[in-house]
Amino acid sequence: MNHFIAPSVLAADFANLQRDIEMVNGSAADWFHVDIMDGVFVPNISFGFPVVEAIRKHAGKPLDVHLMITDPDRYIGAFAKAGASVITVHYEACTHLHRTLAAIKEMGCKAGVALNPHTPVHVLEDIIEDADLVLIMSVNPGFGGQKFIQRTYDKLKALKAMAAGRNDNLLIEVDGGVNISNAGQLISCGANVLVAGNFVFTADDPKAVISEMKEVMPGLMK
């Protein structure tokens, strides 16, 4: 399977949001990654429904909504209505994850579960068949532009091994500090969706950067 590129709108220029959305529409990117932060689960607040709806209005590609919020069950219906195609909740924020993933699927969305850097992959052992996507955080969630955590490579390999034969279509997403230098190795280790915020939006030529990431080949395994 070819890998997907999901530019993170968090790093866009919010005063020129439509311009940045059109840039992604006209690029080789596959999804829009949309980061929702509530100031409780993570120490930052990003944006809410009016902004997601505005993105949806102009976006020509699916919205991949990453909920960094406590008690995400309360808002699944609203994010589905706002136009999400993928809804990812944090393992650390869900008491009844199986029920939450089922609720996301009932809304017609792909259901994802995200793991913080400190959360081991093995906690997904009994839910791996029920997720459409697993997001491995390669930074502590809350902010763009942070340094990539090297341990991520081993977590991706462990997840890939766990999913083998049990969920071969699993989307394995990596989020935080992704750039052209680590993309190849991330793909070798099992990632098939790469999120990139600052690396794309601070580039002189964001479309060219997206194309480069889209075409990157698996790197040498460590």
Residues lying near Zn ion in the complex (CB under 5 A) are found at: 35, 66, 175
Choose the stretch contacting ligand DX5; rule: CB under 6 A; options: 3-11, 84-92, 150-158, 165-173: 3-11
| Cα–Cα distance, 56 to 32 (Å, whole number) | 9
175 flagged as catalytic = yes
User: With binding defined as CB under 6 A, does residue 112 bind ligand DX5?
Assistant: no
Cα gap 205→70, rounded to integer Å: 36
Residues 47 to 66 in contact with ligand DX5, rule: CB under 6 A: 66
Pick the catalytic residue from 35, 38, 64, 132.
Answer: 35
Pick what 142 binds: Zn ion, ligand DX5, none; C-beta below 5 to 8 Å, kind-dependent.
ligand DX5
Token match 């942070």: residue?
A: 146
Site for ligand DX5 contains 72 (CB under 6 A)? no
> Which position among 176, 182, 186, 194 is part of the footprint of ligand DX5 (CB under 6 A)?
176
Q: 51: number of CA atoms within 13 Å, CB side?
A: 17
Determine whether 38 is an active site residue.
no
**Closest residue to Zn ion: CB criterion:** 66
Spatial strand order in the sheet of 110-115: 4-7, 193-196, 171-175, 133-137, 110-115, 84-90, 63-68, 32-37
The Cα 184–Cα 40 span in angstroms is: 34
Binding of residue 46 to ligand DX5 (CB under 6 A): no
Catalytic residue annotation: 35, 175
